[in-house]
Amino acid sequence: MSSEQVLRDGAAGLGLRLSDPQCERLLAYGALILKWNKVYNLTALRDPASVLTHHLLDSLSVIAPLAREWPGRAALLDVGAGAGLPGVVVAILRDDITVSCLDAVAKKAAFVQQVAGELQLPNLRGLHARVESLTGRYELISARAFASLPAFFAGSKHLLAPGGVWMAMKGKRPDEELAQLPAEIDVFHVEQLTIPGLDAERCIVWARKQAG
C-alpha cells in the first residue's frame, strides 16, 4: 500500500477526511523530517513507515478532539515541539490556528521555520527559547512527551490566555502525575486515543486553570 493510502486510511480511522493539499503537505512534511534528520537529529525514527504511524498519524489523532474542544480561531503554543509534532500537523489541518512550535534547541526551531517556508504555511513558525522565559498569550498550549504534567503546567501557565486550555499528549494514562497536580490546575478530561497502525496506549490530558 502506498504511503498516501496508509495516511488516508489512518486519517479515516481517526474520523478525518484529508483534502488533497492536506495529504500532500503531510507527506512532504514526513519526507522533510527524514531528509533533515541526518543533519539535525530530529527523531530516533529512520524509516518512512514509522514516521507515518508514530509521528503523522499520532499527531493527527488530536485533530478531531481539538475541533470539539476549540472549534474557532486560536493561537497555539506547542512546547518542546522538536521536529514540530503535533504543531506542524495542527497547522496543516487548521489554517484558523496560528501555531508557534517552541524548542530550546535552535536547530529544531530552525527546522520548523524551514517547513513553514517549504510547505507555504503562513500560520506556522518555529520559536527558539525556553518556555519559562517566553512571553505572550496563547489560547491553546500543547505538548507531546515533553515533560511531566506538573512541570509542563508550571512552566507554561504564565502563557495560557484567560479561558485557554492545555492539551498534553501522553502514552498511558499518567495517574501518578495527575495525582501530583496542584489545586489550581483543573484536569477536565483524560481522553483515550486509538491510533491506526500503532500498537501503543495514547491519551490526551485536557486541562485549564481553576476558575477564581
Segments forming the whole domain that contains residue 121: 3-209
How many domains does the chain fold into?
Answer: 1
**Cell 483543573 -> residue:** 186
CA nearest 107: which of 126, 88, 122, 125?
126
**Tens-digit pLDDT profile for residues 121-170:** 999 999 999 999 999 999 999 999 888 999 999 999 999 999 999 999 99
Strand partners, 24: none
Cell, residue 150: 506538573
CB 90 within 8 A of CB 97: yes
**Tens-digit pLDDT profile for residues 15-73:** 999 999 999 999 999 999 999 887 777 777 677 777 888 889 999 999 999 999 999 99
- Residues contacting residue 86 through CB under 8 Å, at least 6 positions apart: 58, 59, 62, 78, 142, 144, 169
What's the CATH number where 39 sits?
3.40.50.150
Average pLDDT over residues 175-192: 97
Distance CA 55, CA 50 (A): 7
pTM, to two decimals: 0.96
pLDDT value, residue 181: 98
pLDDT value, residue 207: 98
